[in-house]
Structure 1
Amino acid sequence: MKAFTARLLARISLITTEALVVGVLLWAAVVVFFYLTRVVFVNKSATFDWWAFSTMDTLRFAYPGLTSVVLVVTFFASMPFLLTVGILAPAGLLWRGYKREAWELLWAVAGGAILNQLLKIHYERLRPDTALLPQAGLSFPSGHAMIGMTLYGCVAWLLWRHGHHPAWAAALLLWTVLIGLSRVYLHVHYATDVVAGFAAGLVWLILLRFALHLWEQIVGVTIKDEVEVTEGE
């Protein structure tokens, strides 16, 4: 009995700690996103954006060969890549028997892409006119940053949940940051677009995880009730 009570208390403590951390992350991401909307669309301040461009320009002039590397990095959150991975990765997880994880990853990428387009249409910020390569579409928030966060952030979470691989999870999050920086380096997004994309992507991941957990609870209760009714008959 004592062992059972100890395990129960440990589980409750873990859930409480996890819920607290997730809640703080959600709150911080929402605050950052709406703070940036105020900076960009209300105060119309470009100080941070031009500082970021200046820093990246200094880096590019100092290391001219870096541009080719950045182009490779930025590809890994491009639409062709995301479409391919967004279909093949969930299919592979489903084939391996990870049904829940497959749906989670699919909704993370697909939902993040849809939400990103809705936000871009709402805010209607034009891209920088100093871009090093032509890019269609609107600018705020960055699609590469936002959908990259949903894809690599979701994979990082799945790796952590199933294997407790903090190194791989940290590496994926660092990779996501590098993808965001590549957009600023290439002048195809303002730095505020990128940070807002990270924040919005994190919000979507947390809300998706909560929704999936809630759905599992509802379905679980429904199945349990059906079994009890059947056994009662």
Structure 2
Amino acid sequence: MKPFLSRLLSRLSFLTVEVAVILLLFGASFAAFFYLIRVVFGVHSVALDTWAFQLLDARRQAAPGLTDWAYVVTFFASAPFLVGITIVLPAGLVWLQRRREALEIFLAVVGASLLNQGLKTHFHRMRPDTALVQQLGLSFPSGHAMIGMALYGCLAWLLWRHGRHPVWAVLLLLWAVLIGLTRVYLHVHYATDVLAGFAAGLGWLILLRTALRLWWREAQVVAGQEKRQAR
């Protein structure tokens, strides 16, 4: 009896910590996003954006070869890549009988893409006119940063949940951050666009994970009730 109670308390403690961390992250992302809205559209401050451009411009002048790498890295959250990965990766997971994981990744990318377009249309911020490469569309929040955070954040969560691979999870999150930095480096986004994209992508991912978890739990309860009734 005691071992059972200790295991139960241990699991409940883990869930409590998990819920607290999730709420903390969601609150932080929510607060950061609305703080950036105030900075950009409220007080119209350009201090952070100017500082970021100056810092990365200095790096580009010191090491011009970084530009080629920036083009490579930024591709991994571009529209062609995201369309391909949203088809291929979930299809592969379905083939491996990982339907839940496939659904999570598909909804993470598609939902973040739709939400990003809605936010861009609402805020209607124009892109920097100093871009190193022509880029269509609006600027706030950055799609590469937001959708990249949703995709790679989702993959990081799945890796940690199934295999307890914290190193790979951290590397995926750092990769998402690096993609966002390339957008500022290439002057196709302001730093505030990218930070807002990170915050919105993380917030969307947390909402999605919570909704799916509640949905699957409810489905399990209904299935259990139907099974008992059939008896």
Q: Give 1:181's aligned residue.
A: 181
Q: Distance in 1 between matches of 2:225 and 2:11?
A: 25
SS at match of 2:71: helix
1:218 deviation in Å?
Answer: 1.2
Equivalent position amino acid for 1:178 in 2: L
Taking the TM superposition and a 5 Å limit, the aligned residue runs for 1:16-165 are 16-165=16-165
| Aligned partner letter, 1:111 | G
TM-score of the superposed pair, with normalisation by structure 1: 0.98
How many aligned positions are there?
231
User: Which residue identity is paired with 2:91?
Assistant: A
User: CA shift at 1:217, angstroms?
Assistant: 1.4
Structure 1 stretch displaced more, 71-80 or 213-222: 213-222
Instruction: Name the structure 1 match of 2:212.
Output: 212
RMSD: 0.6
Cα separation, 2, equivalents of 1:171 and 1:225: 42
Paired position in structure 1 for 2:10 = 10
Counterpart residue identity of residue 184, structure 1: V
Structure 1 residues 192-201 or 215-224, which shifts more? 215-224
> Alignment partner of 2:196: what SS?
helix
Q: Distance in 2 between matches of 1:172 and 1:209?
A: 18
Opposite residue 76 of structure 2, the aligned amino acid is F
In structure 1, the gaps of 5 or more residues are: none
Whole-angstrom CA distance in 2 between matches of 1:171 and 1:230: 48
d(CA) in 1 for partners of 2:170 and 2:217? 30
3-state SS of 2:159 partner: helix
1:65-114 Cα shifts (integer Å, max 9, x gaps): 11001100000100000000011001111111111101001100110101
Equivalent position of 1:167 in the other structure? 167
Q: Over residues 23-81 of structure 1, what are the superposed CA-to-partner deviations in whole Å (9 max), with x where a residue is unaligned? A: 10000000000000000001000000010000011000111111001100000100000
Aligned sequence identity (%): 60
Mapped to 2, the partners of 1:226 and 1:169 lie a distance apart of 38
Tell which deviates more after alignment, 218-227 or 33-42: 218-227
What letter matches 2:180 in structure 1? G
Structure 1: how far apart are the matches of 2:205 and 2:133? Answer: 30
The list of structure 1 runs, each at least 4 consecutive aligned residues, that deviate by more than 6 angstroms after superposition, is none
**Distance in 1 between residues matched to 2:22 and 2:222, nearest whole Å:** 27
SS at match of 2:20: helix
